Amino acid sequence: MLSRLVFLPASALKSSGSLGAGLVQAGRCLHTSPQTQAPVPPLPEKSGKVRHGFIPEEFFQFLYPKTGVTGPYVLGTGLTLYMLSKEIYVINHETFAALSVGAVLIYAVKKFGPGIAAFADKLNDEKAAKVQEVKDVAVKSLTQAIDDEKKEQWRVEGRNMLFDAKRNNVAMLLETNYRERLHMVTNEVKKRLDYQIQLQNLHQRLEREHMVDWVEKNVVKSITPQQEKESIAKCIADLKVLAKNTQAKASL
């Protein structure tokens, strides 16, 4: 029993120093060597192996070299017979009560034991899984956060591109403006020269038309009334001839 105290950490021992008068005095420090500060070994999964429910396997191994496989059973049988025959154990009505209760208990354990054990294990496993999930989620979110921070740092490095783009925009605007000005100047000069040419053309056209009108007017004026009468008479004679010709053609 005292050996189990080895596995308790020193602080728990110190705090429970007021118990057990048989244990050490409160002033002395126990278990301060590095051996006892070592971490607790993990608890075993299964209990020690037993045969027939209550006899440890080590007992059989202990007797095996001297008495072989049947040793413990012979010992057990011999002891039982000795107890019964010498009446060290007296058979009375309690014996039958014990036997009946024992039978029922053994039957119940054999039937329902594994099921209940599995249920209890499941409860435990669920608790463990929940706690493990907490840890996994925490680890995942931390690694994700670290990755995100690194990505943001990489993004910051690209900030110069924004200012390059802005400067480019400004330069483009200036250049465009300058070119527009040049074009405007050239166009305006061209327009003025073209206007002069158009103006000249207009003048020439007006002069030409005026001259033609004037010549026409003079010619008309120069036609005498006598000439006019003669030309009209000739036109009428021509028309009569034409009419006669067409009438002749139509009647044919």
Torsion of CA 142, 147, 153, 157, to 10 degrees: 180
Distance of CA 45 to the CA centre of its chain: 40
Binding residues for another protein restricted to 107-136, rule: CB under 8 A: 128, 131-132, 135
Instruction: Return the H-helix or E-strand segment holding 120.
Output: helix 93-156
| Contact region with another protein (CB under 8 A), list: 24-32, 106-114, 181-189, 208-216 | 181-189
Residue type, 181: R
List C-alpha distances in Å: 166 to 36, 159, 160, 173. Answer: 70, 12, 10, 11
Binding residues for another protein restricted to 6-35, rule: CB under 8 A: 9, 11-12
Q: Which of 22, 42, 65, 115 binds another protein (CB under 8 A)?
A: 42
Q: Which of 48, 154, 218, 241 binds another protein (CB under 8 A)?
A: 154
Q: Does residue 244 interact with another protein by CB under 8 A?
A: no
- With H, G, I as helix, E, B as strand and everything else as coil, classify residue 25: coil
User: Could you tell me the smallest distance in angstroms from the CB atom of residue 198 to another protein?
Assistant: 10
Q: Which of 1, 21, 182, 250 binds another protein (CB under 8 A)?
A: 182
**Are 59 and 75 a contacting pair, CB within 8 Å?**
no
List C-alpha distances in Å: 203 to 67, 208, 209, 225. Answer: 150, 9, 10, 37
**Are 59 and 72 a contacting pair, CB within 8 Å?**
yes
- Read off the tokens for 231: 């030309």
- Read off the tokens for 73: 């059973």
Nearer to another protein, 39 or 53 (CB): 39
Binding residues for another protein restricted to 71-110, rule: CB under 8 A: none
For tokens 């110069």, what's the residue?
160
Q: Which of 14, 122, 183, 229 binds another protein (CB under 8 A)?
A: 183
Q: Does residue 246 interact with another protein by CB under 8 A?
A: no
Contacts of 206 (CB under 8 A, 6+ apart): none
| Contact region with another protein (CB under 8 A), list: 22-30, 81-89, 189-197, 232-240 | 189-197
| Contact region with another protein (CB under 8 A), list: 72-80, 95-103, 107-115, 190-198 | 190-198
Nearer to another protein, 92 or 153 (CB): 153
Binding site for another protein (CB under 8 A): 9, 11-12, 39-40, 42-43, 128, 131-132, 135, 138-139, 142-143, 145-146, 149-150, 152-183, 185-187, 189-190, 192-193, 196-197, 200
